[in-house]
Chain A
Amino acid sequence: MPTQVHDRIVAIIAEQAMLDPADIRPDMTPAELGIDSLGMVESIFAIEEAFDISIPFNANEPEKSDFDVSTMGSIVAAVEKLVVAKA
């Protein structure tokens, strides 16, 4: 399942960033991907819908959220944790 989850998240972010999924590396930050705060809010919504989970994220303090959005890798790890918790 982790690979599946990983691939779906990358696909969602890639679509938002208008990049090829192959070009997205785990160390990339949202800024490097060209995703601004509204883009992040949109991506998180798409991820919530895809996995039927609820992501605790406040755009005012992204760094303080339990949900770490600092890099692509941290986003994948946080979503995987929520998906596992749901199952």
Chain B
Amino acid sequence: MSPKSGKSGKDDKGRAGKDRAGSDRAGRTRSKAKPGADETAARDAVAAIPPAAPAVAPVQGASGLRRVVITGAGTVNALGLDVASTLAAFRDGRSGITQLDFRDVERLTIQIGAQVHDWNPETYFNRQQILLYDKFTQFTLLAAKEAVAQSGLSFHGELGLCSGVVLGTAGGGLNTWDENYRVVYEEGKNRVHPFVVPKLMNNAAASHVSMEFGLRGPAFTVATACASSNHAMGLAFQMVRSGAAQVMLTGGAEAMLCFGGVKAWEGLRVMSKDGCRPFSANRNGMVQGEGAGVFVFEDHDHARARGADILAEVVGFAMSADAQDIVMPSAQGAERAITGAMRDARLNPEDVGYINAHGTGTAANDKTECAAVAHAFGHHADRLMMSSTKSMHGHIIGGTGAVELLACIMALRDGVIAPTIGYQEPDPECALDVVPNTAREARVDAVLSNAFAFGGLNAVLALRRA
């Protein structure tokens, strides 16, 4: 989105997204046509541009862009196997971080993680399905079923043709890689199960979701490390907003808590041996989690017409690349994604009441993120709340943004701000209100969700109260 279109006056505040979107598109076309032309003339100018022109959205009536709402949510993570139990843990400030339990764990230096213990796939899937579903697919499918059930949608017939799924994951079927490498390298076997490839591929979860619900439109997987699900949800938002799809299932999953997965992370020396304490001066690294979050992003008019319960509205998204370092984050890159999302959403800084932070609990991320937020929000940075729920569900890598979106929805819908638990000592370099240790009641109208990945890839979503 061009900076020009971001110059939203205060008069835009609170106006319907559809109108906002409409003026936005006209604003962009104005810069393409003649300055000062009225909107009708600008639209005529758009119509005169060949349809291949990439920067101009297809003309869809007067308003162009659609509003996008969330009508279903589902999750599996260490805090619970559904949304209700996860939100209860957020409210109670309960940690899901425990002693890790899987094969060869005794050979790891890092012994803790937010693992989904007592996971019995037999409870949810039959034998043939389990042969095809890696754990990340299992988590995704369970979360997707919860989300679709809440939405009340059925994708039989026409709706399935214009609905799809875009999910994020960083490692895909890592447990499957791990188990089968062990079989051929350690155990010396020369044969693996025939389904290893369809089980481990990164798009397996998205494909199984499409098959489960009959989603026959756009379906794919996004891999941008720790920002994967925010990128996925941002693309889903853009697809529904542009009219490319009517409903998108979106979110992400990760199941990296296996010997090889944790061993690889150990190498970077950024993991904590004793706990996740985001923004606390005595933080000493990240703690990995596992799980999935899946949401139903639906065209607003479609949702309203069928009387659906709207959980929140998705109003903006921006992504940026640091183009700097493969692991060290950049405050400028993060800030550009934050301000970009607000611009896309037509939000002023003072509209934003809560930010779900990336907040990994590493020395580098937390101070960089606080610097980015402080700079992006100016004086308002001292008034907004920002918490990291990774202190509870761990860093779910490619699925983390999806599980964290639940905290955003809880803030908007229930007026409860999830805390940053494990907070022990103030850090002058993280001098924001990080909602330490205890959940807080507060009415907020708009929220952001940050994700800043290794590789310098940033993705920020903006949501509004429905």
Where the two chains meet, the residues of A that have a C-beta atom closer than 8 Å to any C-beta of B are 36-38, 41, 44-45, 57-61, 64
B362 at the A interface (CB under 8 A): yes
| Cα of A60 to Cα of B327 in the assembled complex, Å | 13
B284 at the A interface (CB under 8 A): yes
Closest to A36 in B: B328
| Cα of A58 to Cα of B267 in the assembled complex, Å | 10
If the complex has contacts A60-B362, A60-B363, A61-B363, are A41 and B269 also in contact, measured as CB distance less than 8 A?
A: yes
CB contacts (< 8 Å) of B145 on chain A: these are: none
The answer to whether A60 and B328 touch across the interface, beta carbons within 8 angstroms, is no
CB contacts (< 8 Å) of B234 on chain A: these are: none
B285 at the A interface (CB under 8 A): yes
CB contacts (< 8 Å) of B362 on chain A: these are: 60
CB contacts (< 8 Å) of B270 on chain A: these are: 58-60
B336 at the A interface (CB under 8 A): no
B55 at the A interface (CB under 8 A): no
The answer to whether B284 and A38 touch across the interface, beta carbons within 8 angstroms, is no
> Chain B 420-448 against A: per-residue CB contact (8 Å), 1 yes, 0 no?
00000000000000000000000000000
| Cα of A36 to Cα of B326 in the assembled complex, Å | 13
The answer to whether A37 and B283 touch across the interface, beta carbons within 8 angstroms, is no
Q: Shortest CB–CB separation between residue B195 and chain A, in angstroms? A: 35
Closest to B283 in A: A60
Interface size of B by Cβ–Cβ distance < 8 Å?
A: 16
Q: Chain B interface secondary structure, helix, strand, loop or mixed?
A: loop
The answer to whether B284 and A37 touch across the interface, beta carbons within 8 angstroms, is no
The answer to whether A45 and B283 touch across the interface, beta carbons within 8 angstroms, is no
The answer to whether B268 and A59 touch across the interface, beta carbons within 8 angstroms, is yes
Partner of B268, one of A36, A41, A61, A64: A41
B169 at the A interface (CB under 8 A): no
The answer to whether A58 and B284 touch across the interface, beta carbons within 8 angstroms, is yes
Among B269, B271, B273: residue with most chain A CB under 10 A: B269
The answer to whether B328 and A38 touch across the interface, beta carbons within 8 angstroms, is yes
Where the two chains meet, the residues of B that have a C-beta atom closer than 8 Å to any C-beta of A are 267-273, 283-285, 326-328, 362-364
| Cα of A26 to Cα of B122 in the assembled complex, Å | 60
If the complex has contacts A59-B268, A59-B269, are A64 and B284 also in contact, measured as CB distance less than 8 A?
A: yes
CB contacts (< 8 Å) of B285 on chain A: these are: 58-60
The answer to whether B267 and A45 touch across the interface, beta carbons within 8 angstroms, is yes
5 nearest A-B pairs in the assembled complex, by CB-CB distance: A59-B269, A60-B363, A60-B285, A60-B284, A61-B284
| Cα of A60 to Cα of B363 in the assembled complex, Å | 5
CB contacts (< 8 Å) of A45 on chain B: these are: 267
The answer to whether A37 and B328 touch across the interface, beta carbons within 8 angstroms, is yes
CB contacts (< 8 Å) of B327 on chain A: these are: 38
Among A38, A41, A60: residue with most chain B CB under 10 A: A60
| Cα of A64 to Cα of B326 in the assembled complex, Å | 25
Partner of A58, one of B269, B326, B328, B364: B269
Q: Shortest CB–CB separation between residue B149 and chain A, in angstroms? A: 41
| Cα of A36 to Cα of B163 in the assembled complex, Å | 47
| Cα of A85 to Cα of B284 in the assembled complex, Å | 26
Q: Shortest CB–CB separation between residue A11 and chain B, in angstroms? A: 22
A-B contact pairs, 25 of them (CB 8 A): A36-B328, A37-B328, A37-B364, A38-B326, A38-B327, A41-B268, A44-B269, A57-B269, A58-B270, A58-B271, A58-B272, A58-B273, A58-B284, A59-B268, A59-B269, A59-B270, A60-B270, A60-B272, A60-B283, A60-B284, A60-B285, A60-B363, A60-B364, A61-B363, A64-B284
| Cα of A37 to Cα of B269 in the assembled complex, Å | 10
Among A38, A59, A64: residue with most chain B CB under 10 A: A59
| Cα of A59 to Cα of B273 in the assembled complex, Å | 12
CB contacts (< 8 Å) of A36 on chain B: these are: 328
| Cα of A61 to Cα of B362 in the assembled complex, Å | 9
| Cα of A41 to Cα of B326 in the assembled complex, Å | 14
Q: Can you add 19 more A-B contacts, CB < 8 Å, to A41-B267, A58-B285, A60-B362?
A: A38-B327, A38-B328, A41-B268, A44-B269, A45-B267, A57-B269, A58-B269, A58-B271, A58-B272, A58-B273, A58-B284, A59-B268, A59-B270, A59-B285, A59-B363, A60-B269, A60-B272, A60-B284, A61-B284
CB contacts (< 8 Å) of B363 on chain A: these are: 59-61
| Cα of A57 to Cα of B270 in the assembled complex, Å | 9
CB contacts (< 8 Å) of A44 on chain B: these are: 269
